[in-house]
C-alpha cells in the first residue's frame, strides 16, 4: 500500500514560492531596471482598484439627481419671496 509522503509534496510546492525576476538591459549590456513579482502584483492591484473606482464613479455620476431644466412654476396668486439671482443697480 502506498503511503502519502508529505516531504515530496512540500518540495514540489516550495518551487512555486520563489517568484520570478526580469532584468532589462540596454544595448551596451548595462542593467536598466529589474522587475520582480511584487512589482507585478502591486501593478495589478492598482489596475483593479482603478477600474473599481472608475466604475463606481461612473455609476454615481449617472444616477445622481440632476438640476431641472425648467424652473418650478408657482400658482399666480403666490407672492414671490425668493430674491432675484442678480441685483441690478
Q: Is the pTM of this model over 0.85?
A: no
Query: pLDDT tens digits, residue range 33-66?
Result: 998 888 889 999 999 999 999 999 988 887 766 6
In this structure, are residues 24 and 33 in contact, taking their beta carbons and an 8 Å threshold?
yes
DSSP 32-72: EEEEEHHHHHHHHHHHHHHHHHHHHHHHHHHHSPPPPSSPP
Amino acid at each position: 500500500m502506498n503511503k502519502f509522503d508529505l516531504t515530496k509534496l512540500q518540495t514540489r510546492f516550495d518551487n512555486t514560492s520563489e517568484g520570478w525576476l526580469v532584468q532589462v538591459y540596454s544595448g551596451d549590456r548595462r542593467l536598466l531596471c529589474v522587475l520582480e513579482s511584487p512589482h507585478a502584483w502591486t501593478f495589478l492591484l492598482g489596475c483593479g482598484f482603478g477600474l473599481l473606482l472608475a466604475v463606481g464613479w461612473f455609476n454615481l455620476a449617472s444616477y445622481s439627481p440632476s438640476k431641472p431644466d425648467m424652473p418650478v412654476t408657482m400658482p399666480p396668486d403666490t407672492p414671490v419671496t425668493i430674491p432675484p439671482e442678480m441685483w441690478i443697480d
